[in-house]
Amino acid sequence: MAIFLDTGKIEDVERFMRMGIIRGVTTNPTILLRSGVVGGREAIRKRSIEIAGMIKPYPLSVEVTTNDPAAMFEQGREFAKWAENINVKIPIHGPAGEMENFEVVHRLETEFDVRVNMTAMMSAQQCLLGALAGATYVSIFGGRVNNMGFNCVEEIRKARKVIDDQGLPAKIIIGSTREVLNVIEWLEAGAHIVTVVPDILKGMIVHPYSKETVQMFLDDAKKADLETR
Ligand code: E4P
């Protein structure tokens, strides 16, 4: 079980790496845009190399920025050369249901030794097929599944069961965290990894009653003059 950080911001990666609690980083074009990464492939390259260097040997997922299969394939091969720990994120299919993405994933993994994170999944059946195609990671967007009125916990349980039953090596990442309680709930349901935005991670750590308790210790240390001894 592991927690990845869902961010493109250097300061977030630095902070949570120093704390020793993350085992990888995930990005996508929306996250990069929000993290101030603008300016084409060179901007993605620079930020990706920087983050990959900071978290090495843990993995960084970098998503393709095209829906054209040939261009996706070319980007996948290039991104993977930027650093050893970069894996390439490829959506399960295109916005109109184009399925060529599977061929790209299969070729990158089996012919070019590129690690792929197959993303934007909403169901166990998509996970199974991504894992069969050879993806190293299969990513379900838990919060989005829940927002559609389904319980993603059921999809996570089913995905983990079929992947284990088939002896497939793919790791299940659950992203799209919306609430603090998602993290433990999804790991408990069978996710190998939950990828978490920085605010959710902070929410997991800081508890009002812990604050109050620590304040009591500090106040009593002061009263007993124990502060500096
Ligand atoms: C993870 O890898 C995804 O890119 C991410 O968690 C998506 O989250 P969203 O639903 O908040 O866009």
Reported as a single tens digit per residue, the pLDDT across 49-60 is 999 999 999 999
Which atom from ligand 1 is nearest to the alpha carbon of 26? Answer: 2
- Is pLDDT at 226 greater than 90 in this prediction? no
* Nearest CA-CA partner of 155 in 179, 196, 189: 189
Rounded Cα distance between 3 and 125, Å, is 23
- Which of 3, 7, 25, 31 is the pocket-test mutation for ligand 1 (most atoms within 8 Å of CB)? 31
The pLDDT, as a whole number, for residue 227 is 72
- Which of 6, 61, 136, 145 is the pocket-test mutation for ligand 1 (most atoms within 8 Å of CB)? 6
Give the pLDDT band (50/70/90) at residue 229: low
Phi, psi for 171 (deg, rounded to 5): -105, 135
- Is pLDDT at 183 greater than 70 in this prediction? yes
Residue type, 83: A
Confidence (pTM): 0.96
- pLDDT tens, position by position, 121-166: 999 999 999 999 999 999 999 999 999 999 999 999 999 999 999 9
Nearby residues of 169 by Cβ (< 8 Å), 6 or more positions away = 131, 136
* Nearest CA-CA partner of 101 in 120, 74, 73: 73
Active site residue 211: no
- pLDDT tens, position by position, 37-89: 998 999 999 999 999 999 999 999 999 999 999 999 999 999 999 999 999 99
